[in-house]
Amino acid sequence: MRDITLSKAVNEAIAEEMRRDPTIFLIGEDVAEAGTPFKVLSGLVEEFGPERIIDTPIAEPGFMGIAVGAAMTGSRPIVDLMFGDFLFLVMDQLCNQAAKTHYMSGGKLNVPLVLRTNLGATRRSAAQHSQSLHALVAHIPGLKVAMPSSAYEAKGLMKTAIRDNNPVVIFEDKLMYNDKSPVPEGEYLIPFGQANIKREGTDITLIGTSSMVQVAERAAELLAAEGISAEVIDPRTIVPLDEETILRSVRKTSRAIVIDEGHQSYGITGEIASRIMEKAFYHLDGPVIRMGAMDVPVPFSPALEDVTVPTPEGVAENARRLMRGEMFHAA
């Protein structure tokens, strides 16, 4: 084990897979010499050449469509979408084409592609460069959706995504690219649909996605100091979702909070909370609390932006209320 950044972990995953399988190529804007604005892909073009690390014009719908066609005909493209906000531009090719082709063809055509993009606010990038749009793609059957919460997950999930025979969307948190964490030297893959219990606990279950796993962990520390034992679960993939691990935990703790950086309304917290309530209803001591980002476009001003996302303190406060049996919402 050595500590590497999330950025390096993604880079290693792609490089390892590209060495293994010549049908893989990567396509996107400024991915070659520039190695992306976040420098995640630096060095790849030097090793694999411009035929496999392909710089495109600024044409997201176009190169997304090209990737779909390439995937249908023996290639395994990795599409680099510079900001998660640009998902809106590729939705038709991703959701009407890539997601449905296998089904519409009765299983005859496959679309093995990875769309890597990012999420996360508080970078002072304003409303069109700060969105966390994973709920949109999670709603579309045919797509798988991975949300790594650290360098370790970023590498293991990326490798699994690349080997998957379906379109996979993988959201990296753009604020975590420089965060370091232990990553094995040797090869490993993280299977889809297996949640990770980041921290064991008995009083309350905190389910977080992406960087919200860290928020949940910090909340758990705050709570531990007060004698409240929180279990922290990272689903790692939201499609497929590992219900079992979540339900097992909630049946034990009887309380849960779901934390996510997408907008709260009609986002993923509602799905996860509903599944818990549907399937562990009688184990619950109170409603599952949802904490998503505020239902506002992301504001530029730091004074405003910082209040739009869940914080460890906020999570801890909700946990305390749940523990106290305060059913603040119930009337």
Partner 1 sequence: MNTAKARTNSEDYLRMYRQMVRIRSFEDNANQLYLSAKMPGLTHMYSGEEAVAVGICEALRVTDKITSTHRGHGHCVAKGAEFRQMFCELLGKEEGYCRGKGGSMHIADQANGNLGANAIVGGSMGIATGAALSAKRLGRDDVTVCFFGDGATAQGLMYEVMNMAALWKLPVIYACENNLYGEYTKVEETAAGSITARAEAFGIEAFTVDGQDVLAVNDLTQKLVARARKGEGPFFVELMTYRYHGHHVGDINREYYRSKEEEADWKANRDPITNFGKWLATEGIATDAELEAIRAEVKADAAAAVDYALAAKYPDTSEVGMHVYAANG
Ligand X SMILES: Cc1ncc(C[n+]2csc(CCOP(=O)(O)OP(=O)(O)O)c2C)c(N)n1
Binding site for ligand X (CB under 6 A): 29, 58, 60, 82, 86, 89
Comparing CB distances to partner 1, the nearer of 68 and 176 is 68
**Which H helix or E strand runs over 243?**
helix 243-253
Q: Smallest distance, Å, CB 64 to a second copy?
A: 11
Angle between helix axes 312-323 and 212-225 (nearest 10 degrees) is: 50
Q: Please confirm, yes or no, whether 244 is among the known catalytic residues.
A: no
Residue 227 binding result from ligand X, a second copy, partner 1, none, given CB thresholds of 5 to 8 Å by partner type: none
Separation CA 148–CA 169 (nearest Å): 11
- Which residues in 285-314 contact partner 1 (CB under 8 A)? 294-297, 299-304, 307-308
Active-site entry in 17, 60, 172, 261: 60
- Which residues in 65-104 contact a second copy (CB under 8 A)? 85-89, 91-92, 94-96, 99-100, 103-104
281 binds a second copy (CB under 8 A): yes
Residue 209 half-sphere exposure toward CB, CA atoms < 13 A:
34
DSSP-derived secondary structure letter, 55: E
Q: Smallest distance, Å, CB 77 to partner 1?
A: 8
For a second copy, which residue of 15, 34, 126, 189 counts as binding (CB under 8 A)? 126
- 269 torsion bin: left (phi>0), alpha (psi -120 to 50), beta (else): alpha
Separation CA 132–CA 293 (nearest Å): 9
Q: Please confirm, yes or no, whether 129 is among the known catalytic residues.
A: yes
59 binds partner 1 (CB under 8 A): yes
Q: Locate the DSSP E strands across 155-236.
A: 168-173, 180-183, 196-199, 204-208, 230-234
- Which residues in 29-58 contact a second copy (CB under 8 A)? none
Separation CA 252–CA 69 (nearest Å): 47
Residue 71 binding result from ligand X, a second copy, partner 1, none, given CB thresholds of 5 to 8 Å by partner type: partner 1
DSSP-derived secondary structure letter, 327: -
For partner 1, which residue of 2, 73, 185, 227 counts as binding (CB under 8 A)? 73
What positions carry a catalytic annotation? 60, 129
